[in-house]
Amino acid sequence: MTAPRITLLTKPGCHLCDEARGVLDGVLAESEFAAASLGYREENILTDAALRDAYAEEIPVVLIDDRVHTIWRVEPERLRAALRRAIPGARLA
């Protein structure tokens, strides 16, 4: 099993996107996730018609392995739990 693919769907001028980015950066910098070399890619939904149509009213969206993890507000504890489940050998506490 490989490390999870994390995607942050955003659009320009979105303050909740800025908050989500901060939560992702903070959680992924924590030692247990930094050791797994986790990162995320960011996609602007305005550059992809399918993403814009699907998520225009739900931004930001965090996808883990192409599945919706959360919309609007990213809760650090919920993100940590999802990543622990997705990372092979991660601590499950």
Q: Over the stretch 15-44, which tens digit does the pLDDT of each residue have?
A: 999 999 999 999 999 988 887 888 899 999
Q: Pick 6-86's CATH classification: 3.10.180.10, 3.40.30.10, 3.30.420.40, 1.10.150.120.
A: 3.40.30.10
Residue 14: pLDDT over 90? yes
Between the CA atoms of 31, 35, 37 and 43, what dihedral angle is there, to the nearest 10 degrees?
Answer: -30
> Residues near 44 by Cβ (< 8 Å), separated by ≥ 6?
10, 11, 12
**CA separation for the pair 53, 49 (Å, rounded):** 6
Residue corresponding to tokens 């699907």: 54
Residue 35: the pLDDT is 79
